[in-house]
Copies of this chain bind each other. A is one copy, B any other.
């Protein structure tokens, strides 16, 4: 079931960009969780197009409807089905895609795999598919926020757009949601954010696009989440992130830079603090041996520049002949700011699932 993610707390997404609707079925959510549709909607609003002048002007209200699994304001333990109708369909705008493969899009590979594809707006490979992820992730977030010990808090934000990166000193503490949402690029460092916005506007003016990097921090995770040897916490986070459109890399803690350190520099020595086992540093990024150690989880995700550019490109058509494609349609010159709530949603899905798996596998048997 390639459209399902999670083993106990699972989401199954469905829907194409220009079909009637997109949606998700959440199975395995615990019962008795208070849940209002507004809590789902607010997360969807964060990823919605048309929120600022640096993103696609596609107009979608993206109103979510809960069709099952919630009764009198609480989850019932049965599947939660959610649906968002596709509104701003302009199928004619995509006629060129029927026959031509857009470079660095999924047009060719879907055709090669399935022998057929819904070409309108990328069909299933469109970022609209992530609506289901965000809706499911909103429930996971709600679950995590209510856990004992203060709850789990997830905060993603931009650290880089093109070659503009926030200074390391700006990333030393867990940013507030308000700091992240303060700017259209969702970088909590205002000066960097301003430069990022300028760069995005500049490349858009040239019909071009840029990539960027998102960092995600998670605090309040108890020690013990993660299921070695294959379902390590960082392995499932990596999978979750690389399952997102346009991602090219994942690193946790020290990441690629850690490969350049010595063990004596890299090791996080333990110390007793506040009655718990803590580490003095956090180069591990919150996991050791695939299991959370109670420190902040810190990872980064690399996004390539948007493949859609408003310039002519050579390509091949469905008959295998060389041709040219003129980029058109509404698009984000930089998808990374809108990917922030999506990264958070996927992180929430990983953690909710692992929290339930951990509970089942280890805490349940008390002699």
Contacts and interface: CB of A to CB of B under 8 A. Distances in A.
Given A25-B25, A104-B267, A243 B251 contact: no
Contact of A248 (B30, B83, B129, B285): B285
11 contacts: A8-B360, A13-B79, A21-B68, A67-B83, A77-B361, A78-B228, A109-B288, A109-B292, A248-B255, A250-B251, A276-B320
Interface string A110-130: 101111111000011100010
B248 A249 contact: no
A156 interface: no
B289 A31 contact: no
A227 to B, nearest CB: 3
Contacts of A92: none
A268 interface: yes
A248 B282 CA distance: 13
A232 B242 contact: yes
A67 B114 CA distance: 19
A241 B234 CA distance: 10
A321 interface: yes
A34 to B, nearest CB: 7
A266 B109 contact: no
A321 B212 CA distance: 43
B271 A314 contact: yes
A87 interface: no
A64 to B, nearest CB: 13
Contacts of A10: 1
A362 interface: yes
Interface stretch (A42-50, A174-182, A190-198, A305-313): A305-313
A56 to B, nearest CB: 14
